[in-house]
Amino acid sequence: LGRQAFHTLVDVRRLTADGLLAPMPVPTAPDPPPAGFHPPAPLTVTDPDIALLKRLRNALEAL
């Protein structure tokens, strides 16, 4: 650790020992989604554009 980081950790340790610093409480459960929230529909691709993949394949084969 760098010199500044070490002194920061010592300060945090002292504050914790004095009861002035405590870890955050563990959340019990995630918040429910807001009313009216609907997750996005999955993308449906029937004919993927593979031109880039073909160009990449051809370039690699040319090496």
Span 30-49, pLDDT tens digits? 877 777 777 777 777 666 67
Tell me the pLDDT band of 1, cut-offs 50, 70 and 90.
low
Residue 9 clears pLDDT 60, i.e. is over it: yes
Span 11-35, pLDDT tens digits? 999 999 999 988 888 878 887 777 7
Q: What is the CA radius of gyration of the chain?
A: 27
Task: Give 38-63 as a DSSP string.
Answer: -PPPPP--SS---HHHHHHHHHHHH-
Q: pTM surpassing 0.85? A: no
